Structure 1
Amino acid sequence: SSRRRAAAAEYAVHRGIPRVLYRAFAEQTPRRHRATMPVCEAQEAPVAAACSAGKKLRSSAAQEGIPAFIGDDLESIPSTDFASDASDSERCESDSDWASSSAFDAADTLLILDWDDTMLPTRWLENQGLSLASNSKPTEEQLEQLHAMAEHARQTLKAAKAHGTVILVTNAERGWVELSCQRFLPSLWPSLRGVRVLSARSTFEQQGVAEPSEWKYLAFQSEIGAFCGPPSGARCKNFVSIGDSPHERSALIRATECVPGCCAKSLKLMEKPDISQLMQEHRLLIDCQ
């Protein structure tokens, strides 16, 4: 079993899945999602091996006290190339291109993180009656929980930065990330310096776009296009999206459809988590290193 796990992990690295995310990708893919994954035929056998190893990892997670709801609510697409209309020559020239390097370079990797209920426990704050209002003051117990959450988010952000360029794309209005971070997760604030924050809503709503899902898609399209830049030969790009909404997954698929030579992976977190559940998700990511 350890040999199979090692083989699956090695495959994941060859296909561009960062080590920090591999365990979550392998483990947190419910069987009902695997059957509908758009995996290329050439990838089916190795992906099946990774999923088999994922069963072993799921058992390990259970022993660590990670509840079933995380496994049921997370979905991922292991190293799938969504540019189905592109020819093989337009992507990486052959599988040997993937095998020739152990992983994507950080320079070729873009990680797109959501903010609300991904880094910030937004739903929990609402349930606790906390807001940006000056008369809304957390209790000592709430402050302790928020401090712990900030530390988990900081470690996740640090790990993500080690694997590529990190940006935050949110459907909240411009300024919300900065204000909410300084108010509720102040110890995380220094880690956000240098991280590009894009409000999809503030950018595209004023252009007449009304649908939140379209805000995310247009933001992803813009950022991915800017990251790719001019065509760079056979260099493959690696895109990782982490967020609690289906909008992120849909936006990533649509935004990478016409990007030749890329790998796109979406990690969907639990929707409407409380703060303890969100911290458990971050622990899972942090422990994957």
Structure 2
Amino acid sequence: MLPILGVQPLDARSSSSSRVGRTSCYLRSIGNLWGRNVTLFSRTSGGRLMDATSEPDQVALAVDAFSKGKPVMVFDSSFRESETDLLWPAQYASPDVIRKLRQDCGGLLFLAIGEEIGNMFDLPWLQDIHVHPALTTLHPVLDLLKTNDLQYDTRSAFTLSINHRETYTGITDRDRALTTRRFGELCDELMESNTSPEKARKALGNEFRTPGHIPVCREAPGGLTARQGHTELAVSIARLAGLRPCTIGAEMLQPDGDGALPVEEARIYAMRHSIPMLTGDDLLKANGLGN
């Protein structure tokens, strides 16, 4: 795992007290990175929303919560998709977590993985598969369906979709929790033991099949320095928390499903459920990037 800000990566399987203590090294230094404040919201005793300037504290709260297997919310940017994701560490996925994502978010559940995990398993981007000459010759429709008109980016982060081999259909909350949790655990086991890519791919194939009901999104090479999408933001918070870069999440939609949940409503949801909420700019700054 890549070290962030000089902090050594934490073992996701270590005790809660150990992870919290070692994550504190990062939390104590994070305030030095901030040269400005942005507006967050807190609720007054009368129920009104008021401005608050607690940016470093909010990042520290998010890092601490995520390191303990608790959720974090991330709003990407008003200049990108203007969407908020609800995120959990993959290895903490349970049927209740999947149910929460499904019922409270409404968007697609996705599993975001870091570049090092993508490299370890040699997972291809779907966009590259679909334009491979051998496949487009065999199936010309793939060339007609190629992605060349994304409105929010230059390429998609989607790679393969997976099911754990012990699932039935793969779609139930229990099935998707098993797929997500075991993928996160397997990544940790293989990276902890420094397993070779060949053995890692065999281990993946032993436990998982494709296609499945958990779409996997792979971080762009260079991470946040190259792309500031939901995938890169989701794995960034995992790294800051000392976990393997493997995060389950979903986009939050309006109740009628006709658009992304407005950021103001997302903040209210975050307050009601005591979930730390960050922006893409917050995570860029926490990684020493941006202005």
Q: TM-score, normalised by structure 1?
A: 0.31
Q: TM-score, normalised by structure 2?
A: 0.31
More strand by share: 2
More helix by share: 1
